């Protein structure tokens, strides 16, 4: 099961607060849907359009117990 959040932010930094909220939202979803998630492998993916991320947020990502994968998917202005 994949739990994904996408942020198309060009001006703001991704900080620990944003990742903490995503992590809490995932836990809340898993807890609320216990029957559906009980025997599933769950992967949390956070997708961002910029690579402006704070060191504190990177530390959270690399925390083994946290299990959030960060994907940087650049936004191309010509795609508008």
Q: What is the pLDDT of residues 8-37, one digit of tens each?
A: 877 778 888 888 899 999 999 999 999 999
Q: Is residue 2 part of a domain?
A: no
Residue 3 is predicted with a pLDDT of 95
Residue 3 resides in a domain: no
Indicate the pTM of the whole model.
0.80
Identify the domain containing residue 61 by its residue range.
Answer: 9-75
Residue 51 lies in a domain: yes
pLDDT beyond 70 at 77? no
What average pLDDT does the segment 61-79 reach?
73
In a domain, 70, yes or no: yes
Q: What's the total number of domains in the chain?
A: 1
- Per-residue model confidence (pLDDT) at position 64: 56
Residue 43 has a pLDDT of 93
Residue 65: inside a domain, yes or no?
Answer: yes
* Residue 79 pLDDT: 54
Burial 4-26, CB ≥16 within 10 A → b, else e = ebeeeeeeeebebebbeebbeeb
pLDDT digits (tens, 9 = 90+) for 50-63: 878 888 888 877 77
């Amino acid at each position: 099961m994949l739990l994904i959040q996408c942020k198309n932010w060009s001006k703001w930094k991704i900080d620990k607060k944003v990742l903490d909220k995503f992590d809490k939202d995932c836990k809340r979803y898993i807890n609320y849907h216990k029957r559906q998630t009980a025997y599933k492998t769950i992967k949390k993916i956070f997708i961002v359009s910029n690579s402006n991320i704070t060191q504190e947020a990177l530390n959270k990502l690399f925390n083994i117990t946290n299990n959030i994968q960060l994907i940087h998917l650049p936004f191309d202005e010509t795609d508008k």
